[in-house]
Amino acid sequence: VGGIERNAGLLFGLLGGALWSYPTTKLLAGEAWRRGPRDLAAFMGEALVPARGWLETTYRSDTVRALWAPWVLHAGLGPEDAFSGQIAKVIAFALEAAGAPIVKG
């Protein structure tokens, strides 16, 4: 979750903007200047990891993997899709930061 906080400006800027636009170009140029082109490319490469790969390398428990895997479906991605690992991290960040309502009954 700390990685999401460190990269929030870039990550949410990309998620919230049009890909082929001046603001996105400006954001990427600023990040390339701040981080350097290699570090920016490394971030982009890590962000494209599928959720399955992220879950298998992060969690040993099959139960925990099974609990996290379906969340990427809410973003219209499958666990094998590129960037689904990053979306899973964003969802985990949101759940940790804001929580999730639980029905009592």
Q: pTM score, two decimals?
A: 0.83
Question: Which pLDDT value is given to residue 99?
Answer: 86
Question: Which pLDDT value is given to residue 2?
Answer: 82
Rounded to whole angstroms, how far apart are CA atoms 85 and 52?
Answer: 7
Rounded to whole angstroms, how far apart are CA atoms 12 and 63?
Answer: 29
Question: Which pLDDT value is given to residue 87?
Answer: 96
What does the block give as tokens for 87? 């979306």
Task: Please check whether residues 90 and 65 belong to one and the same domain.
Answer: yes
Total domains, the chain: 2
**Residue 102 banded pLDDT, cuts 50, 70, 90:** confident
Q: For 41-90, write each residue's pLDDT tens digit.
A: 999 999 999 999 999 999 999 999 999 999 999 999 999 999 999 999 99
Q: What is the DSSP letter of 69?
A: G
Query: Domain limits at 103?
Result: 49-105
Alpha carbon 87 to chain centroid distance?
A: 4
Task: Please check whether residues 68 and 98 belong to one and the same domain.
Answer: yes
Q: Which long-range contacts (CB under 8 A, 24 or more apart) does 45-48 make?
A: 46/86, 47/11, 47/83, 47/85, 47/86, 48/82, 48/83, 48/85, 48/86
Task: Please check whether residues 55 and 20 belong to one and the same domain.
Answer: no
Task: Please check whether residues 39 and 19 belong to one and the same domain.
Answer: yes
Task: Please check whether residues 63 and 22 belong to one and the same domain.
Answer: no
- Per the CB < 8 A criterion, the answer to whether 66 and 57 are in contact is no
